[in-house]
């Protein structure tokens, strides 16, 4: 039988988990099959953030294998707004510490990490925003298994 303290504890945990999820506006990965992420392989994410007054945090997410040959990953981030405006950034994600330990976490041979790309961003007009991620390294193919975008309401 459950004691009142255990019921209260589980209730608090459940409410906390659900309230954290309410802040998530978008969270999606795009799977990259073998042989890996190529220069020509662009990944697009169409996002409708909804609220044009709320500030948002934007994250870039990556899953890679432990066979990744370098400690970082350069990528190009292209953003296209609903009325045709565009922006292009170059992002350098650090995947490993100087001593070789992976920054990302995960079981087995896959590591996952999230890069805080933009803080307190306002999507100024309603509609669909398209984010396109491109691999920007000097190696034509990398052991990256998935890339993604996550957008949350700023706290």
Domains, the chain, ordered by start: 25-153 (2.60.40)
Report the DSSP beta bridge partners of residue 75.
91, 135
Token digits of residue 71: 């400690």
Q: pTM of the predicted model, to two decimals?
A: 0.84
Distance of CA 57 to the CA centre of its chain: 11
Check: CB of residue 43 under 8 Å from CB of residue 32.
Answer: yes
* pLDDT tens digit at each of 155 positions of the chain: 555 555 444 444 444 444 445 799 999 999 998 889 999 999 999 999 988 999 999 999 999 999 999 999 999 999 999 999 999 999 999 999 999 999 999 989 999 999 999 999 999 999 999 999 999 999 999 999 999 999 999 98
Instruction: Please list the residues that pair with 112 across neighbouring strands.
Output: 63, 105
Tokens of 45: 């994410």
* 114 contacts 60 by C-beta, under 8 angstroms: yes
């Amino acid at each position: 039988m459950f004691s009142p303290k255990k019921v209260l504890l589980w209730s608090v945990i459940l409410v906390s988990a659900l309230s954290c999820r309410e802040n998530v506006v978008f969270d999606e990965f795009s799977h990259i099959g073998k042989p890996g992420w190529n220069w020509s392989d662009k990944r697009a994410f169409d996002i409708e953030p909804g609220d044009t007054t709320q500030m948002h945090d934007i994250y870039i997410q990556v899953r890679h294998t432990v066979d990744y040959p370098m400690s970082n990953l350069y990528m190009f981030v292209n953003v296209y707004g609903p009325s045709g405006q565009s922006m292009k950034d170059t992002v350098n994600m650090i995947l490993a510490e100087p001593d070789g330990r992976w920054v990302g976490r995960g079981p087995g041979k896959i590591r996952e990490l999230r890069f805080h790309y933009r803080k307190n961003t306002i999507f100024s007009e309603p509609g669909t925003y398209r984010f396109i991620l491109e691999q920007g390294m000097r190696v034509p193919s990398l052991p990256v298994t998935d890339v993604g975008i996550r957008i949350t309401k700023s706290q």
